[in-house]
Chains A and B, each alone.
Chain A
């Protein structure tokens, strides 16, 4: 395949079957390898689409500063696009985000403002909103509420998956901004009304939870529960276990949020087996494992050691 620039090479990622982790011959799991995008994550799609739409709307003009709350990947995608297009970019991210992510942002010239680890992305969103109010000329694309985030997946990810897997019965993805699930979910449902859209939500560790309040739940503006068929909450131990299984049994080196999505995919797969149904389940590999190498989870001798190693540093 040939493209005119790296920005033009976003999307058109492979969909690969998992012959060993699929529950049965009739219940098949397929991985959409979004780590094959230019900066290595699914976020290249919404980042580029949000920038291009903001340019079309006249919100983003040469010399503008882009501001975004991000735990890493969206910032990395935006920073690369900003570099090529000549925008300044400021990213607000939790202070406990991995060193690899910070270096990736810095190498594309992004300026990083750290938000307190407590509250994770919720706090980053709050800090970014405060900065936006203080700097009215900065343009916050705001992935949590920008319809072009979901729009990118409606326009590209959804059609790619349906073209490669017309027999799809379930689509599973991580629940963060909700953009992937909303965009792909809406597209698939329009073409396959019975398709089941399954969210895999990361379950924060106790340490993080202790600092939260039941009334502080943050729901991204993009979220529309009617798109989802069901929603799984995946603990970090299960996410780490699946991330390692994906590597060891299928040779796919993915980040931890992908392990969470795989856990939910296997969960719905097992329910299909019990119900005697056949299924084609596609799930999103949101990024590769490179940015999480320093956690030690891939090389730990046992899954128990890997789980212990990542406590408190995974989901930021």
Chain B
């Protein structure tokens, strides 16, 4: 099961500079564990104590997973996951 994961610039040191990588898992937690097997160190930058880090936002098909089921949000084939530094402001 392939899920596209978009990686922010700040974390591309873990992905050899790749903007997007593929991973698998039935939940976000499983997906990040799967990424860790190929991109050592990335999981700890996203997850802390079983939760998403405070200043990291993760989006499933553009929707913030904190408003879905957080790190337990279920994934299905073809989903797109985006990891971003937390940002607000900048509009209008």
Majority SS of interface residues in chain A? mixed
Contact B10 A213 (CB under 8 A): yes
Interface presence of A220 (CB below 8 A): yes
What residues of chain A lie closer than 8 Å to B45, measured between beta carbons? 214
Closest partner residue, chain A, to B6 (CB atom): A235
B residues near A210, Cβ cutoff 8 Å: 9-10
Whether A229 lies near B88 (C-beta < 8 A) is: no
Is A108 an interface residue when CB atoms closer than 8 A count as contact?
A: no
Q: Evaluate whether A219 and B86 lie within 8 angstroms (CB atoms) in the complex, with A174-B92, A210-B9 already known.
A: yes
* Residues on the A chain within 8 Å of B90, using CB: 71, 120-122, 176, 202, 204, 315-316
Contact present for A231 and B89 (CB under 8 Å): no
Known: A209-B9, A231-B67, A234-B62. A176 touches B84 (CB 8 A): no
**CB < 8 Å: which of B10, B63, B91, B92 contacts A214?**
B10
A74 / chain B contacts, CB cutoff of 8 Å: 92
Which residues of the other chain, B, contact A112 by a CB distance below 8 angstroms?
none
Q: Does A218 contact B (CB under 8 A)?
A: yes
Query: Are the CB atoms of A257 and B9 closer together than 8 Å?
Result: no
Give the chain B neighbours of A212 by CB distance below 8 A. Answer: 10, 85, 87
Q: Are A206 and B19 in contact (CB under 8 A)?
A: yes
Assess whether A240 is interfacial by the CB under 8 Å rule: no
Contacts known (A42-B92, A232-B64); A218 close to B10, Cβ less than 8 A: no
A-contacting 9-mer, from B26-34, B35-43, B52-60:
B52-60
With contacts defined as CB atoms under 8 Å apart, how many contacts are there between chain A and chain B in the complex?
Answer: 115
Question: With an 8 A cutoff between CB atoms, is B1 at the interface?
Answer: no
Distance in Å: Cβ of B33 to nearest Cβ of chain A:
20
Give the interface size bracket for B toward A: 20 to 34
Chain B residues, Cβ within 8 Å of A215: 55
How many chain A residues touch the partner (CB < 8 A)?
54
Contact with A along B66-84 (1 / 0, CB 8 A): 1110000000000000101
Residues in A neighbouring B25, C-beta threshold 8 A: none
Check if B87 sits within 8 Å of A217, measured CB to CB: yes
Binding site for A on B (CB under 8 A): 8-10, 19, 45, 53, 55-57, 59, 61-64, 66-68, 82, 84-92
Chain A residues with a Cβ under 8 A of chain B: 41-43, 71-74, 120-122, 125, 144, 174-178, 201-204, 206, 209-210, 212-220, 223, 225, 228-235, 238, 255, 257, 260, 263-264, 267, 286-287, 315-316
Nearest 6 A/B pairs, CB to CB: A217-B86, A176-B91, A231-B64, A230-B67, A121-B89, A210-B9
